[in-house]
Structure 1
């Protein structure tokens, strides 16, 4: 993306897996796979000549469909159509993420997920590690 007088680029920090409940608790394999391909945000910032990092909070009603878009709507991750639009999950593969999704389904059915994440339900936004890099040219 380019907006004069500088350059803006989106990125996610590799700590995002540690911040996002889906990856941390249910799908760490997806984060491990993604980490093999990701360029660290600090390196990207350096390549852009010392770009500054700005936090990009994710709203609870986000409609973009990226990995953390449904952070407050956990049932969405059980929908194969939703997962197909999330590169982190689609590229990791159903066979790898199926056990974690089964645990998520069980936790949702039993109420464990809601008990563990009750605090999230009151939030309007969360920081799960998405960053906007802004570099002046």
Structure 2
């Protein structure tokens, strides 16, 4: 089975270490569910260790990076979950829906196999509060193209609660907008490898050159002075919870 992360997933487990504060919010949304399906599980980030977790992941590369002792993994896709109806107390998916070929079908499959909550960590494509978009305006189009709007979830899952997921300034998970107070991180090609968006963008170099110049001159710090002492920030990440 071919999958995007067979190519870009090399060293992913080291670059994308779960942040415990985000994990706590996600795990609270699972309620008292004891059996949990993690769809698009990757190397196992954010899987609760105090519950019976089954991982579903299309990429053999990502499955190979799962630590010893982690939840058992089944290779497969969100659009065709190889489980019977109501097999799990809950289903979760973390920053993965933008990789699904049929997002509506994937959500329907999660709803089908879960007796209780369906929980997704995702990104609001209408969000415009990221300074990174000034350096790579292509991100706006990319987010709009690959991320479902928030009303999409209610159409396909029924009533949902949507929570803002604050991103700590020292977030240990290297997703796209995690380095909002550490701009120099984007100049590191290894760190950029941890974000699938940078694999998809065309014309990255111009933004990198401008960011490097603005860091040297102090322009970035002056333009973003309000961020320098902030502990957390809304960077557009949302938790979608269908009970």
TM-score (norm 2): 0.52
Alignment-derived partner of residue 86 in structure 1? 195
Contact 1:65 1:85 in 2 (8 A): yes
Q: Number of residues paired by the alignment? A: 132
**C-alpha separation in 2, matches of 1:34 and 1:14:** 5
Alignment-derived partner of residue 75 in structure 1? 184
1:128 is aligned, of 224, 231, 235, to 235
Q: Relative contact order (C-alpha < 8 Å, sep 6+): which is higher?
A: 1
Identify the range of structure 1 (59-68 vs 35-44) with the bigger mean alpha-carbon deviation: 35-44
- For structure 1, the residue ranges without an aligned partner over 5 or more in a row are none
Alignment-derived partner of residue 163 in structure 2? 54
- Off by >6 Å, runs of 4+ in structure 1: none
- For structure 2, the residue ranges without an aligned partner over 5 or more in a row are 1-37, 39-90, 93-114
Alignment-derived partner of residue 97 in structure 1? 204
Contact 1:60 1:71 in 2 (8 A): yes
SS in 2 for 1:20: coil
Larger radius of gyration: 2
CA RMSD of aligned residues (A): 1.5
**C-alpha separation in 1, matches of 2:169 and 2:187:** 17
**C-alpha separation in 1, matches of 2:118 and 2:146:** 23
TM-score (norm 1): 0.89
Alignment-derived partner of residue 140 in structure 2? 31
**C-alpha separation in 2, matches of 1:105 and 1:50:** 44
